[in-house]
Amino acid sequence: MIVRIVIAVFISVVTGVCYLAGLSRLISGLLIGFGVLAALFFGILFLIPPGSDRASFAVSVSGSSWPFFLLALALMLMIVYLFYYLSTPEVPDTDGGTAGGGSYEPLCSSHLQLFGGGVLFYLFSLFFPAVILFPSDDAAQSSATRHPEIMALIGVAVFICGISVSLFMLYKSTKGGTPDNPGLMRTAVPALFTVFHFDKIPALAAYLLIYSTTPELVFPKIAALALAAYIPVSLFLINTVSSTRSKQ
């Protein structure tokens, strides 16, 4: 367990350093690629018969695989857009940003407030829907006889809307910079975003929904919707990369 924690911390630190070094397009593509792998994994997972003895990770209920494969396709198209339509070479400069610097706003307290508020709202968007998605035993027993699917759908909708708002706040905070380092927040915000593994939260939410300890409260399509939160995460990463392009 300790070795796994050390490896995870090392990878997150390396990812953050790569952002600071100006390799934002490459690292963003890899992070979106993780979402593709997660979608493909869950899609293949639901092709395995429920409770199969041949796979220790088999799910307890049947479900459709096409929502996960559709999401994987959408994320792959976003990677293609990132590499082929935002293909201006990234050349790190001595100021810590990319060549050309791009436009920026003078760094002020509002950028730091947007960053702090975005992080707090991101965490709130994860833990608040958990009350709906993962109720207590008594609440689960009572909701199982009413409308558990609607409650799960509401929880996932709150989750997606919440992180979308928080990502917009984080993106606004990336506009801040200084004359000596115009790309300060454009590199620091994505670096911290990945160091704390915020980009992997949609995969975690989908995993917890699929492997719920209460089989009657497992809804594969709603889990796919939770994993679709990778789309706003990917948009945040792509827009952050595009803002580092030098303006013509």
- When computed from its CA atoms, the radius of gyration of the chain, rounded to whole angstroms, is 20
Residue 21 has a pLDDT of 82
Residue 79 has a pLDDT of 95
How far apart CA 224 and CA 70 sit, in angstroms, is 10
Residue 219 has a pLDDT of 81
Q: Tell me which residue of 9, 70, 24, 60 sits closest to 188, measured CA to CA.
A: 24
Residue 95 has a pLDDT of 43
Whether 222 contacts 209, CB under 8 Å: yes
Q: How many helices (H) and strands (E) does the chain have?
A: 10, 2
Residue 64 tokens read as 């459709």
Q: Which residues pair with 177 in a beta bridge?
A: 106
Each residue's pLDDT, cut to its tens digit, for the chain (248 residues) gives: 677 777 777 778 888 888 888 888 989 999 999 999 999 999 998 888 776 666 566 676 777 899 999 999 999 999 999 988 776 544 444 444 444 445 677 888 888 999 999 999 999 988 888 777 766 556 555 554 466 778 888 889 999 999 999 999 999 999 888 888 888 888 899 999 998 889 999 999 898 888 876 666 678 889 999 999 999 999 999 998 876 554 43
Residue 51 has a pLDDT of 64
Question: Which 3 state secondary structure label does DSSP give 98?
Answer: strand
The backbone region for 29, taken as left when phi is positive above 0, alpha when psi lies in -120 to 50, beta otherwise, is alpha
Residue 90 has a pLDDT of 47
DSSP state letters, 128-177:
HHHHHHS--HHHHHHHTTS-HHHHHHHHHHHHHHHHHHHHHHHHHHTTEE
Residue 235 tokens read as 């948009």
* Cα 52 from chain centre: 30
Residue 88 tokens read as 């201006």
